[in-house]
Chain A
Amino acid sequence: MTTTEQPAHADVGFGRRPRVEDARFLRGKGQYVDDITLPGMLHGAILRSPHAHARIVSIDTSEAEAHPKVKAVITGATLESLKLAWIPSLSHDVIAVLATDKVRYQGQEVAFVVAEDRYSARDALELIDVDYDVLDPVIDAQRALDPGAPVIRDDIEGKADNHIFDWTAGDKDQTDAAFASAEVVVKQDMLYPRVHPAPLETCGSVAWMDPVSGKLTIWCTTQAPHAHRTLYALVAGLPEQKIRVVSPDIGGGFGNKVGIYPGYVLSVVGSIVTGAPVKWVEDRSENLVSTSFARDYHMHGEIAATRDGRILGLRVDVLADHGAFNNTAQPTKYPAGFFHIFTGSYDYPAAYCTVKGVYTNKAPGGVAYACSFRVTEACYLVERIVDCLADELGMDPAELRMKNLLRPERFPYLSPTGWEYDSGEYPRALAKAMEMAGYEQLRKEQAEKRARGELMGIGVSFFTETVGAGPRKHMDILGLGMADGAEVRVHPTGKAVVRLSVQTQGQGHETTFAQIVSEVTGIPSADIEVVHGDTDNTPFGLGTYGSRSTPVSGAAVAVASRRIVDKARLIASAMLEVSPEDLEWDRGKFFVKGDPSTAKTIQEIAFASHGTQELPEGVEGHLDAECVYDPPNLTYPFGAYICVVDVDKGTGQVKVRRFIAVDDCGPRINPMIVEGQVHGGLADGVGMALMEVIAFDEEGNCLGGSFMDYQLPTALECPSWELGETVTPSPHHPLGLKGVGESATVGSPPAVVNAVIDALKPYGVRHVDMPLTPAQVWRAMQGRPFRTDLAITDE
């Protein structure tokens, strides 16, 4: 084949273009886990504990086993014989697959029924008779540490309290000295309540242990299929090459689908026991009550400053409620994830934090819901307390921020807790947001409204995200380093396939990763197939969460693509019989310097690489390349958000009138997709700020077991988002990319809360805990805000 001039493609490289994955979703032809049906497939259902804390006296499964459509009933005793009753958590702990000794939270898994259809499996749950000896539950994290509090984890030898870990970061002496010399110190307690990521697709799996080949295949709602495969191999003792984990289309992840849940393991056990494929899909109530919450940080913050608003130091003390098992998703070395970037976006010399983890009778979790391992809590804390300081100093909160933001010349910036921020132009981003908002005009409008007795608030927040987990020297999950692999193969006709170690839960990887290959190689996106989500067909890597896909896997793809171009140069030099240095590269073709008429396109070079052309010595045939990318550093996207609210005086109802978001995530692969992700994150943030909380009563009953109780924002609560951007490339990513998926979820809650509290200024309110429901806001106006994590008991 001698291809002549390729047509100029508008489809090459970065830029706004529709998503290729939409074609199947728009026709209802996506394939989510619950859409998978295999011949002879059975259905599993889980019996869950009605109590938060109770000893199991006995379990009688005989009636359930007698149900004509039931194929197996599995209890903790069954699993003990298989050594699968307890499995490692994500955080140096163990979690129960099925309770054996006692139940430790409401909704904990007690038994598993496998039946011919999903309705019969549910029917049979009601035929299981469990005798419980109910114990006192521990619901309040602060009371969990009281001497004499019931010990939740008496399965751990010698455990006599509910304490999990103590962790510190920063320099205590330096911070104490900064506080001692400060003219102003402001202190504030605040709760980041327990919330739920609540992807619309709940968790589920279809497991098939083929008794003939010995191969276990699991289609499962996972954000990290390769990590799951390795953990199955380690835990169950199965050979890793005989395990295939497939993450098909996933209906949203948000961190909820990183961990291994008991239901996944039970579907595998069910398949082993019955010899048939077993599907398990949790319902909404199971998802909300038992499947990994997020946040639940009780924080005490202190900020020190000069009278004219120069911040000198920050001191933070956190009580972290991790539920009954410490299953928090975070790098092994960091008991509180990346909470040590609690110093935020400001330039000050001293900071110190302590975090204490405790067990309570609540579901385990601590998932990094759309954030990088506790950055959301950190950002909330610093952005709230900076507003408290502004209030104390009588300064405008935007002015106070502008005064203390890191200046561009400070980058790369070493934070007081030892993290090196890669690049940033913070003041420019804040100035842009203020300009878009018409900040001065808004303040005038607010003053006029206040004079009329109306409540309007303007909230500012600035965030620095910490994404791209991460460098192997710093980060791992259960000993697995976070490097990601990528393989790019160019077919003889110049079309390509790229295989990723990450996959998508809606982020549009099939579109953007093709664009990365296209940007580097000049091959049109439409000619590039993206393969992901199947451990049998993709290189090893740690999956999609913490906005790590673009910073890590995207870098791997970029490097592999550059290796393709490097190889293409050598082949082109042979084709043109000149030395490689005499060639010039122009977006998809090489030509002899100064003579474009000699151009060989990447497609022609691909064909030659597979053809009869004699290749230079040392150059293997086929235009393929791969890369395992270990990032040198995290990336640090940032942004400035401004929220405008109106509060109804009579009811406490908050209306988000405007929301301005300026994001800097470096260059944008596909601006349409970036904007879409920012929109989604902003809605999540508004939900957390105003509506969402998983609360408990004194008996440990979860009060948010359905979407009737656990309220998520709808189109009516969300404004029309106003987006802006600045572009500050990362100096160490091959394409300067930083990642954006979670920025808005991190940055928006403090903007909304700051706005509402600004609106409540006439009432002397300085802080109110999320969620700012009408009841909470109304009570704050009366000077009586309540604890949002516990059921109201005082009236």
Chain B
Amino acid sequence: MQVTMTVNGTQVSEDVEPRLLLVHFLRDTLGLTGTHWGCDTSNCGVCVVQLDGLPVKSCTVLAVMADGHDVRTVEGLADGPELDPVQQGFMHEHGLQCGFCTPGMMLTARHLLDTNPHPTTDEVREAISGQICRCTGYENIVRAVQWAAEHPKDVATEGVSP
């Protein structure tokens, strides 16, 4: 089946099997390996991408379901060389260790801040509660998201040297 979608601002068109998962379409067909694959059951959340701006678990979305839609992956988070404040926050607050859950966490965090610019710690924990991290104990992820909230784009690019 032919699918056409916008991925990180670029239109792509490919012939795929109807059963192909979006996560494999992104990773294997498009070579965007920043989106990871962790459990196939929508429990771990390392495969989270944004579909029309909403965080979804791409291991349980078929590529054909994204036909005609807008997909954003971790590769589309930075604006060229300039990191998104969420990315800067994760570095600044040590919100990652092995880095495997990080792309999904950051895309969820970006959506949270887009809809709720000043979340409480409870709201951050709630937002990322569908995603598992085995390294950080979540504490620094929460701090990273709050750092990003306190340093929106213009502010963030000042005082941080990654």
Contact = CB atoms under 8 A, between A and B. Distances in A.
Interface of A: 18-19, 21-32, 34-35, 37, 118-119, 198-202, 249-252, 254, 283-285, 505-508, 672-673, 675-684, 706-708, 712, 714-716, 718, 720-721
User: B31, B38, B140: which has the most chain A beta carbons within 10 Å?
Assistant: B38
Contact of A19 (B94, B124, B136): B94
Contacts of A712: 132, 134
B97 A677 contact: yes
Nearest to B91: A22
Contacts of A283: 40
Interface centre among B34, B40, B137 (most CB of A within 10 A): B137
Interface stretch (B63-71, B99-107, B149-157): B99-107
A18 B44 CA distance: 26
B134 A200 contact: yes
15 contacts: A25-B96, A26-B78, A27-B74, A27-B87, A35-B33, A118-B24, A200-B46, A251-B100, A680-B133, A683-B137, A708-B41, A714-B132, A715-B141, A716-B126, A721-B137
Contacts of B106: 26
Contact of B100 (A18, A29, A32, A508): A32
Contacts of A35: 27, 33
B89 to A, nearest CB: 10
Contacts of A284: 38-41, 44
A599 to B, nearest CB: 28
A677 B46 CA distance: 20
B38 A19 contact: no
Contacts of A718: 137-139
A26 B136 contact: no
Ordered nearest first, which 5 A-B pairs have the shortest CB separation?
Answer: A28-B34, A506-B98, A25-B99, A679-B137, A251-B100
Contacts of A506: 96-100, 135
Interface in B4-40: 17, 19-20, 24, 27-28, 31-40
Interface secondary structure of B, over-half rule? loop
B120 interface: no
Contacts of B124: 715
Contact of B43 (A250, A706, A715): A706
B98 A201 contact: yes
B98 A250 contact: yes
Contacts of B92: 18
B138 A676 contact: no
A708 B17 contact: no
A251 B94 contact: no
A34 B37 contact: yes
Interface string B115-135: 000000100111011111111
Contact of B103 (A22, A28, A199, A678): A28
Contacts of B40: 283-285, 706
B62 to A, nearest CB: 13
B32 A19 contact: no
A411 B11 CA distance: 67
B96 A715 contact: no
Contacts of A706: 39-41, 43
B98 A715 contact: no
Given A22-B91, A200-B100, A284-B44, A28 B134 contact: no
Given A284-B38, A707-B44, A720-B121, A200 B139 contact: no
Contacts of A285: 40
Contact of B73 (A22, A28, A678, A716): A28
Contacts of B90: 22, 26
Contacts of B98: 199-201, 249-252, 505-506
B48 interface: no
Contact of A28 (B24, B33, B101, B131): B33
Nearest to B76: A28
B38 to A, nearest CB: 5
A707 B36 contact: no
B94 A673 contact: yes
A18 B162 contact: yes
Given A252-B135, A506-B97, A715-B141, 12 more contacts: A26-B87, A27-B75, A27-B83, A31-B33, A119-B17, A254-B134, A284-B39, A683-B134, A707-B43, A707-B44, A707-B132, A712-B132
Contacts of A26: 74, 78, 83, 87, 90-91, 96, 99, 102, 106
Contacts of B94: 18-19, 672-673, 675-676
Given A22-B90, A200-B132, A284-B38, A30 B137 contact: no
Contacts of B24: 118
A507 to B, nearest CB: 7
B97 A715 contact: no
B99 A18 contact: no
A540 B91 CA distance: 32
Contact of B97 (A31, A201, A676): A676
A249 B97 CA distance: 11
Contacts of B125: 715-716
Contact of B137 (A25, A29, A682): A682
B142 interface: yes
Interface string B51-87: 0000000000000000000000111011000010001
B99 A708 contact: no
Contact of B41 (A37, A254, A707, A720): A707
A707 B99 contact: no
Given A18-B92, A28-B34, A708-B41, A201 B100 contact: yes
A29 B78 CA distance: 12
A678 B94 CA distance: 12
B35 to A, nearest CB: 7
A716 B129 contact: yes
Contacts of A508: 97
Contacts of B133: 200, 680, 683
A256 to B, nearest CB: 10
A677 B96 CA distance: 10
B99 to A, nearest CB: 3
Given A29-B34, A715-B129, A716-B125, A680 B97 contact: yes
A290 to B, nearest CB: 15
B162 A22 contact: yes
Contacts of A679: 136-140
Contacts of A23: 162
A516 B77 CA distance: 33
Contacts of B100: 32, 199-201, 251-252, 506
A683 B138 contact: yes
Nearest to A723: B139
A459 B38 CA distance: 34
Most A CB contacts (10 A, CB to CB) among B27, B40, B78, B136 go to: B136
